[in-house]
Amino acid sequence: MSEQSNLAYAGLSAAARGRGAAGAGAKPPRGAKPGSGRKGRTPRPPKPRERATASDLARKQRDISVSEFFAKNRHLLGFDNPAKALLTTVKEGVDNALDACEEAGIAPDVRVEILQKSESRFRVAIQDNGPGIVKSQVPKIFGRLLYGSKFHRLRQSRGQQGIGISAAGMFGLLTTGKPVKIVTRTGRGKPAQCFELVIDTRSNEPKVRRDEIVKWDPPHGTRVEIELEGSYRGGQHSVDAYIRQIALANPHAQIDYLPPAPQSKAPQGKAPQGKTGKAAAQKAQAPEAQGLRRFPRVTKELPPETAEISPHPYGVELGVLMQMFRDTRSRNLRGCLQADFSRVSGRLADEICERAGVRSNRKPAEVSRNEAERIHHAIQQTKIMAPPTDCIAPIGEALLEKALRKEVQADFYATLTRRPAVYRGNPFLIEVGLAYGGALSAEEPISVYRFANRVPLQYQQGACAITKAVSGTDWKSYQLQQPRGALPVGPMVLMLHIASVWVPFTSESKEAIAHYPEIVKEMRLGLQECGRRVAIHIRRRRREADEAKKRAYIEQYIPQVAVGLQEILGFANKERDSVVTKLTDVLKRSRKL
Amino acid sequence: MSEQSNLAYAGLSAAARGRGAAGAGAKPPRGAKPGSGRKGRTPRPPKPRERATASDLARKQRDISVSEFFAKNRHLLGFDNPAKALLTTVKEGVDNALDACEEAGIAPDVRVEILQKSESRFRVAIQDNGPGIVKSQVPKIFGRLLYGSKFHRLRQSRGQQGIGISAAGMFGLLTTGKPVKIVTRTGRGKPAQCFELVIDTRSNEPKVRRDEIVKWDPPHGTRVEIELEGSYRGGQHSVDAYIRQIALANPHAQIDYLPPAPQSKAPQGKAPQGKTGKAAAQKAQAPEAQGLRRFPRVTKELPPETAEISPHPYGVELGVLMQMFRDTRSRNLRGCLQADFSRVSGRLADEICERAGVRSNRKPAEVSRNEAERIHHAIQQTKIMAPPTDCIAPIGEALLEKALRKEVQADFYATLTRRPAVYRGNPFLIEVGLAYGGALSAEEPISVYRFANRVPLQYQQGACAITKAVSGTDWKSYQLQQPRGALPVGPMVLMLHIASVWVPFTSESKEAIAHYPEIVKEMRLGLQECGRRVAIHIRRRRREADEAKKRAYIEQYIPQVAVGLQEILGFANKERDSVVTKLTDVLKRSRKL
């Protein structure tokens, strides 16, 4: 076949070349056109060239490995610049550490170390006291993109894609050539395994460079070390800000953070290379008290463990439904609808099938496209209970307020945990925290802290559904100034948290929430409720201020009234004073403050 | 090994479960905490549950296929909502059509048809007169993500990822269950092949449902039909706006556009299903003159064909360099540097090797990490010519101005094509167009039209480097108002075009440019140059207005002066009139207008 077509296309090839030549060669190339600009920079006229035929094009078609794709598009993963690369690496490591501890029911002790090896080179280490990783899984988890346990389930966790930590390792490899180092131990009495591995971007497969048993003290846990080109900066987008915020949103975790030692920048000068240099650097860091910052846990209670759920029928699209019918283990439609979806009882399954006009004892794999479409339609018309809510663990109103009080000095706080809602069949839940007044600036736009599954979002505020929801809320009706379509202006801080079994991020780097209408709506409702509360507070404050003004005004005249009465009625001074006291009492009773 | 570890972990398993129980079971779950909010909505306390051990976690680890990944994260590809899904499908089809025609040196005739099948269901067809597609390649091109000819090369084209059109097909399949239909023919006398295929998201492999020879008139070309859930809307983000803009940026292409017929919405009511319905709908559409909009080509010249280039040494990172040394066909370093990179001569290769202290006749595959690092360092210190520029085809200042004049009624136009520059080793080039005054509103923020490789960008303006560059330019010094950090306000339209062998988009949906500093810098320089020109224009206009005012003022007094002179010197009326004439002449000569 392919030979035949190659022969066949040889003829066309000549024809197409003829056309190509006519197109590119017959007329003078465009370089000669008059430039309208002053400098008239026009590109050099390209040489006429033979153009491609269908078979030329076919020869160039190739598979693209997902590692190659992301290596070239690394900004999609949060590695656009050195400062962000350092933050992303820390973030991916900490996400995994917290997830692992929580899944194993261990109160997380996470340690983040950043060692500066030269001006633009850092070694990041993230260590947890989690359950450790089974030896055979280590290479794939750290050396293969799109591999993990969190993608194929509907359950709230920080990681969800199976990309993050391998991508950080890949970025380290690309910029420094150094492998990722992993030390892990799954329990007391078990050996600690040490790996060094790199990702082969061509094949998206791990290559193990070192695999041996080492001496390591912790009874269980994992330590990942990645060396990368980066930049350590301060400010809103810094690692320091991230660590502070992650501690806030995870009050059950203890975070130890060792930022780069300031002295290591100047004196060392060149990057310490080779084993001696590394050992020396580690030794210099050894009396680690210096610079170590501890964020102790605020509560010993772990967040409630979240359940894994089946997809909710309302969010399943026709194509997915057809796929589920093909893949199900159930023998009939009724069983499939009941077993593979959440909130579908046998009775409800029968109701759906009846409405669709498909027998409920049909074999799911034999359901046609047309029948599936009718079932899909019937599902939308059937009343089905909202998905179960124990799959989502909110931070909770009390802890949210605690976190806000810790971060912000204000007069008034409001927090709200909304009921779970659903987008595309995925349950999610919005929490809103609000702080108003106090030391906050009244002249600047408000600050918005964004969180998703307890992870702070620091970049791409403009692209985030949270920002859209805040800007789209009518804050003027809640007594705040607001330029059209922008963040309100006033002494306020907002904290929004979305918890979901699947958070829809606008990019793989997980920096902003996508604009699903259901999500934006829930956020707005939460903001409106908090807005109403703050409006009551602001109005009361204003009323109080008005009252105080009026009262002060009346109080000012009470002595004059008394003196007037004294003159008219011939009061003694004592009677005059008693009139002042009585009038003041009346004022106090009538205008409560 | 794995058995051993499974046995080993059984012990830990119990221990971890103990811990898990202590964590989740010993204390009452958090649901009981006092809520600070008024409604105190707290989630139901979850049941204590056995938590996961390392081996539990290991069992859940799985590969994630890239199709599954993007099916779940479809918003990354531009399918977040029905209106955008329709636009993205059209866009991906047109991108491919234009690329194919240009690569084959054919002046593109592209036809876009949108047929509304029910309120929320559309059938999109994109047809080109390109070189067609070799039969064996059709399934993979349309039924496999990350497959294509454009990723592994450095050459300017609209498509670059090998995702777009297959993703559109996948979205169609997910929402309607319908396969993608492709008809293609590679030349007169060749058969026209018709395919219907779906993507298997589990394996990211195409499944061919139909593969046969059909009767099809065009001598060569490709027609793709995708049926999807969508929404047809107007406005800035609409398909109509896209078609208009793509025609503007591609003056060499003829675009025929058949929007959904307005009458098909109401009367048909239900979606026509099955063959008769479809045939009927197509028949109803047949006298297609109604509603067809043609955007004729403005120029018959194709854009100069762009060359494929090798990576420039400055943009190659250490890890990539090491990979290239391993993969090269050259036998020694000198040859490798010369052959695999652009702008490296033999002399320069020697210079680099000498500076790095590595012999230039070394076998590349044997170069150590340390040596590679030295070579990488030496490259940065060596002066290497900028990459060749014939790999980029700008629109050009003349055509840019033509396009702007067509789109915008203004007083003043400036266009600029900058010299190519480099980010991460990739040549790119910025073009700026500016229109000022005329009918444009002076009270609103300016409009910014964004283009990348001749494709209009319609979404995510806020996330785009173009917006950042425009907001970050100091327009006040160019006589425009500008709120701090925002778009300037005034009667102005800006058009920015980035052409590159690899455009770094912020997401796979290719809606915004990532913030690479080199790119933002080039954009700023272009904006500043156009800013200076418009400032000269604005200042001249102001000066002219001032002059006119002054002149009118002086002119008013010339007769009075003449009358005064007449009275003092006893002029005749004739002499007085001659004084008026002379003074007016002096005024004209001294204050040129």
Dihedral sign for Cα A380, A383, A387, A389, please. positive
Which residue from A545, A448, A432, A430 is spatially nearest to A492, judged by alpha carbons? A448
> Which residues, 6 or more positions from A242, have their beta carbon under 8 angstroms from its beta carbon?
A87, A90, A91, A456, A458
Name the residue type at position B12.
L
Lowest-pLDDT range, A6-15, A152-161, A398-407, B130-139?
A6-15
- CB distance A126 to A46 below 8 Å: no
Residue A536: is its pLDDT beyond 60?
yes
CB atoms B46 and A414 under 8 Å: no
What's the confidence (pLDDT) of residue B179? 95
Q: In what order do the strands lie in the sheet with B121-128?
A: B205-214, B192-200, B180-185, B221-229, B121-128, B109-118, B254-258, B293-295
Task: Give A171's pLDDT tier (boundaries 50, 70, 90).
Answer: very high
pLDDT confidence of B160, banded at 50, 70, 90? confident
Average of per-residue pLDDT across B49-55: 70
Is 70 exceeded by the pLDDT of residue A43? no
Residue B419 backbone phi and psi in degrees, to 5: -65, 150
| Averaged pLDDT for residues A525-540 | 95
Q: Which pLDDT band, with edges at 50, 70 and 90, does A50 fall under?
A: low
Residue B217's pLDDT band, with cuts at 50, 70 and 90, is: very high
CB atoms within 10 A of CB B6: 15
pLDDT at A399: 84
Answer whether A41 sits within 8 Å of B419, measured CB to CB.
yes
Could you say which of A16, A177, A401 has the minimum Cβ distance to residue B36? A401
Cβ pair A15:B187 closer than 8 A = yes
Average pLDDT over all residues of chain A: 83
Structure tokens at A162: 């199976």
Q: Please state which of the ranges A182-186, A368-372, A519-523, B8-12 shows the lowest mean pLDDT.
A: B8-12
Range list of β-strands (E), B230-328:
254-258, 293-295
Q: How far apart are CA B572 and CA B579, in angstroms?
A: 11
Mean pLDDT computed over every residue of chain B: 83
Least confident of A43-52, A362-371, A500-509, B444-453: A43-52
Is A211 in a helix, a strand, or coil? strand
Q: Describe the crossing of helices A369-381 and A318-327 by its angle, rounded to 10 degrees.
A: 110
pLDDT over 90 (residue B194): yes
Q: List the structure tokens of A492.
A: 């306020």
| Half-sphere exposure (Cβ direction) of A590: Cα atoms closer than 13 Å | 10
Q: What is the mean pLDDT of residues A309-329?
A: 89
* 3-class secondary-structure state, position B339: helix
Yes or no, beta carbons of B305 and A49 under 8 Å apart: yes
Helix residue ranges, H only, B419-515: 465-472
Position A242 pLDDT exceeds 90: yes
User: Region B149-165: what's the mean pLDDT?
Assistant: 82
B-facing residues of A in 292-331 (CB < 8 A) are: 300-307, 317-320, 322-323
Q: Which residue has the higher pLDDT, B404 or A7?
A: B404
**Terminal-residue alpha carbon distance, chain B:** 92
The predicted structure's pLDDT at residue B51:
64
A510-524 pLDDT, tens digit per residue, is 889 988 889 999 999
Q: Which pLDDT belongs to residue A366? A: 92
Question: Average pLDDT for residues A427-456, to the nearest whole number?
Answer: 92
Q: B350 in contact with A at a CB cutoff of 8 Å?
A: no
Strand partners, B112: B126, B257
User: pLDDT band at residue A592, thresholds of 50, 70 and 90?
Assistant: low
Q: How many Cβ atoms are within 10 Å of A139's Cβ, its own excluded?
A: 20
Q: Encoding tokens for residue B432?
A: 């700026």
Q: State pLDDT tens for residues B97-139.
A: 999 999 899 999 999 999 999 999 999 999 999 999 999 999 9
Least confident of A26-35, A137-146, B383-392: A26-35
- For residues B68 and A152, give the distance between their C-alpha atoms in angstroms, rounded to a whole number: 9
Query: Taking CB atoms and an 8 Å cut-off, how many pairs form between chains A and B?
Result: 414
B187: nearest CB among A11, A319, A517: A11
Q: Between B185 and B270, where is the model more confident?
A: B185
Q: Which two tokens stand for residue B444?
A: 């609103």
Q: Are strands B221-229 and B121-128 parallel, antiparallel or unpaired?
A: antiparallel
Cβ neighbors of A561 (< 8 A, separation 6 or more) are: A579, A583
Of A4, A171, A446, A586, which Cα lies nearest the Cα of B318? A171
3-state class of B424 per DSSP?
coil
- Report the alpha-carbon distance of residue A160 to residue A96 in Å, rounded: 10
Burial of B397 (0-12, 13-18, 19+ CB in 10 A): buried
Q: Looking at beta carbons, which residues of chain A come within 8 Å of B152? A: 62, 64, 68
B417 to chain A, any CB pair closer than 8 A? The answer is: yes
pLDDT at site B248: 82
Instruction: Report the gap between the CA of A93 and the closest CA in chain B (Å).
Output: 17
Give the span between the Cα atoms of A525 and A473, in whole angstroms. Answer: 9
Q: Is A425 on the interface with B (CB under 8 A)?
A: no
A9: nearest CA in chain B? B186
Element (H, E) at B175: helix B164-176
Closest CA to A433 of A494, A490, A480: A494
Is residue B37's pLDDT more than 60?
no
pLDDT tier at B424 (50, 70, 90 boundaries)? confident
Contact B423, B519 (CB under 8 A): yes
Q: Which of residues 530-549 of A touch B (CB under 8 A)?
A: 533
Task: Give the model's confidence band at B592: pLDDT under 50 very low, under 70 low, under 90 confident, else very high.
Answer: low
Contact residues on chain A for B134, CB-CB shorter than 8 A:
5, 9, 54-55, 57-58
Residues of B in Cβ contact (< 8 Å) with A231: none
Q: For residue A191, what pLDDT is reported? A: 95
Inter-chain touch A80–B53, beta carbons under 8 Å: no
> What's the whole-number mean pLDDT along residues B426-448?
91
- Burial, B526: exposed, middle or buried (Cβ in 10 Å; 0-12, 13-18, 19+)? buried
Residues 6+ away with beta carbon under 8 Å from A330: A336, A338, A339, A340, A364
Whether the predicted pLDDT of A269 surpasses 70? no
Mean pLDDT for the stretch of residues A379-407 = 86
pLDDT at residue B400 tops 70: yes
Distances (CA, A) of A526 to A397, A416, A474: 12, 7, 13
**Bridging pattern class, strands B180-185 and B192-200:** antiparallel
Candidate ranges A135-144, A270-279, B301-310, B438-447; pick with highest mean pLDDT: A135-144
Q: Which residue of A has its CA nearest to B515?
A: A80
Per cent of chain A over pLDDT 90 is: 47
Predicted pLDDT at B289 = 55
CA distance B380 to chain A (A): 14
In one-letter notation, the amino acid at residue A50 is E
B373-396: average pLDDT: 88
Determine which of B61, B68, B160, B226 to mutate to test the interface with A (most A C-beta atoms within 10 Å).
B61
Smallest Cβ–Cβ distance between B64 and the set A2, A148, A369 belongs to A148
Of B311, B318, B315, the residue nearest B377 (C-alpha):
B318
Cα gap A127→B558, rounded to integer Å: 89
Counting residues of chain B whose pLDDT is more than 90, the rounded percentage is 47
Is A557 in contact with A512 (CB distance < 8 Å)? no
Distance CA B282, CA B277 (A): 9
Phi-psi region of B78 (alpha: psi -120 to 50; beta: other; left: phi over 0): left
B142: tokens are 């349309």
**How many CB atoms are located within 10 Å of the residue B200 CB?**
17
- pLDDT, tens digit, for every residue of B543-559? 888 888 888 888 888 88
Task: List, in sequence order, every residue forming a beta bridge with B254; answer none if it has no partner.
Answer: B109
pLDDT at res. A591: 63
The pLDDT value given to residue A254: 94
Cβ separation B373–A516 shorter than 8 A: no
> Rg for chain B (alpha carbons), in Å?
33
B152/chain A closest Cα distance in angstroms: 8
pLDDT of residue B155: 80
Using alpha carbons, list the distances in angstroms from residue B141 to A72, A203, A410, B206: 20, 20, 58, 9
Q: What is the SS3 assignment for B225?
A: strand
Under a CB-based contact definition with an 8 Å cutoff, are residues A451 and A416 in contact? no
Helices (H), B384-457: 397-407
Residue B265: pLDDT band by 50, 70, 90 thresholds? very low
- What Å distances lie between residue B11 and A104, A188, A189, A448, B17, CA to CA? 14, 10, 10, 47, 10
Residue A400 pLDDT more than 50?
Answer: yes
Q: Which two tokens stand for residue B212?
A: 């046969």
Tokens representing residue B405 in the block:
């004049």
What residues pair up with A223 in beta bridges, in sequence order? A127, A183
Q: Name A150's Cβ contacts closer than 8 Å, sequence gap at least 6.
A: A99, A157, A159, A160, A161, A162
